[in-house]
Structure 1
Amino acid sequence: MGLPEIVLRFLYPPPPSLFISAMSVISFASLTNAGFQEIKGKHMRYSKFFNVGASVTGDNKQKEAEFSGRTGMLVAYTPAFLAGVASFALVPLEGLRFTLLRSALTIHFLKRLFEVLFVHKYSGVMEVETAITISMSYFLSTASMIYAQHLTSGLPEPPIDLKHFGILLFVLGISGNFYHHYLLSELRTEGGDNKYKIPHGGLFDLVICPHYLFEILGFVGVSCISQNLYAFSYTFGTMFYLLGRSYATRRWYQSKFDNFSENTKAVIPYIF
């Protein structure tokens, strides 16, 4: 049995859609590149690492339109959440797998909005352009994943059914991500002095970014529920991005804290 035959035991055949095919390549390539850029020190504009060490003065720094941190994150996540909600009204019932997928995506962004409103604490701002760019990216990826799943309607199910395993991974991922975001929030005060501390509790003594580890698990769960090419392309791209971002995070903590343990890995306990 060749590789294509093995793959098709786990995935639906790629749909005859130029848009989804292009999005599969673009999502994987752009997210993977973003991960490599994080490793190289070129960080996203919303990152706490962005402009670290920069010596830009008020005279030559161009003032950008800004949101508060909370408003910026609400702008980033709300359209993707609404895309998930709208899919229930705009697209008819197409079986259990489709319902599970759009439910998982909607719950994922509902959880993010809940954290923005009630868990995270903010001491900074987000540029309007950055918030809108992130918002468009999340909205497009969510809508594309739902549309890609819609295109599988009527096709034979993959011989190996992963959706129940996917549900388990999704619940584990979203729960672990939420718990470790809560632990991070306990380190800071609203509108505080922006001082960072080494987090502890949960898996923080093993890896500095357990919230990324569980986010990866959650997206793997979504892909197993979906079992289509676009979902796995997006998940692998997200995984490579978060691996790069966690590597950069660990390097940042090493540079800021003399007592940072060398045994604490970036995102995968004992390995990376």
Structure 2
Amino acid sequence: MVMSVLLSFIFPPPPSLVVSTMSVISLVSLANAGLSEVRGKHLNYSKFWNANPSSEKQIKLSSKAGMLLLYTPAFLASLASFWIFPHEGLRSTVLQSAVTLHFFKRVFEVLFIHKYSGGMTLESAIPITLSYFLSAATLIYSQHLTNGLPEPAMNLLYPGILMFVVGILGNFYHHYLLSNLRGKGEKEYKIPKGGCFELVICPHYLFEITMFYGIFFISQTLYALSFAVGTTFYLLGRSYSTRKWYLSKFEDFPKNVKAIIPFVF
């Protein structure tokens, strides 16, 4: 029953052990990372870059260098896909464009939007970089494997494009608001204001989730669904920890501001 409903809006899973394995790994690893965030074991970047100090000497990167390391391989992989899998139809081209644009935006923000205060350990940067690279490559490869397969009964391509545009613009706008919190040379954190920050402390995560469900709607593959669901679990956990951090640092943090879902969570 569940499988028949699922197959009404996704392509039949391809006979690929690699993609099937990656679908499971993405969902489980991202969900586990979200649970770890709730438990206080954070991936060491942004405000949590030094949250889990180790007794071993670790290599520290600047935030800017670390963030470039995270996103550049995934951007280059998605860009290269236009040469590796050219002209495979509208859905594939839109999917390749969406993944490429997402990681291009990330690189652009690192270079021109974000302002930094901490750092990043190489130990944290390497698995995140690998995760982004593999997710970009697998999203596009999964789409490639749908060539010749019957289209799902429910076509979600155009709603997916709309969701993706709303998600990427909303994410960018709230990253821009965060960058404007600090004046030149300032490094301290402040309570974010404006936009959806009046409702949740992580609207950029909410819009990122929206964007990845847009990518799933565009793609309609099992891997894209697994990655979107896994990302949801991770960002729910990360936003919970972020709100907890703000509550611990700012006595005047408004209690009505939720973590990621307005009025709910």
Aligned twin of 1:4: 3
After superposition, what is the alpha-carbon deviation per residue over 1:219-272, rounded to whole angstroms, capped at 9, x for unaligned? 000000000000000010000000000011111111111111111111011111
Aligned twin of 2:203: 210
**TM-score, normalised to structure 2's length?**
0.96
Aligned partners of 2:184, 2:85: CA distance in 1, in Å?
A: 41
Cα contact 1:28–1:234 (8 A) shared by 2: yes
Aligned twin of 1:71: 65
Q: Which one-letter code corresponds to 2:162 in the other structure?
A: L
Q: Which one-letter code corresponds to 1:172 in the other structure?
A: V
Aligned twin of 2:124: 130
Aligned twin of 1:267: 260
* Corresponding residue to 1:251 among 239, 244, 247: 244
Aligned twin of 1:96: 90
Residue 130 of structure 1 deviates from its aligned partner by 2.3
Gaps of 5+ in 1: none
1:89-168 superposed matches below 5 A: 89-168=83-162
**TM-score, normalised to structure 1's length?**
0.93
Matched residues, number: 265
1:35 aligns with 2:34: yes
Cα contact 1:77–1:135 (8 A) shared by 2: yes
Aligned twin of 1:237: 230
Residue 6 of structure 1 deviates from its aligned partner by 1.4
Residue 102 of structure 1 deviates from its aligned partner by 0.7
Aligned partners of 2:119, 2:49: CA distance in 1, in Å?
A: 12
Residue 3 of structure 1 deviates from its aligned partner by 2.1
Q: Which one-letter code corresponds to 2:235 in the other structure?
A: L
Q: Which one-letter code corresponds to 1:268 in the other structure?
A: I
Q: Which one-letter code corresponds to 1:108 in the other structure?
A: H
Q: Which one-letter code corresponds to 1:46 in the other structure?
A: Y
Residue identity over aligned pairs, in percent, reads 61
Secondary structure in 2 matching 1:67: strand
Cα contact 1:123–1:190 (8 A) shared by 2: no
CA RMSD of aligned residues (A): 1.5
1:135–1:51: structure 2 CA closer, same or farther, 3 Å change rule? closer
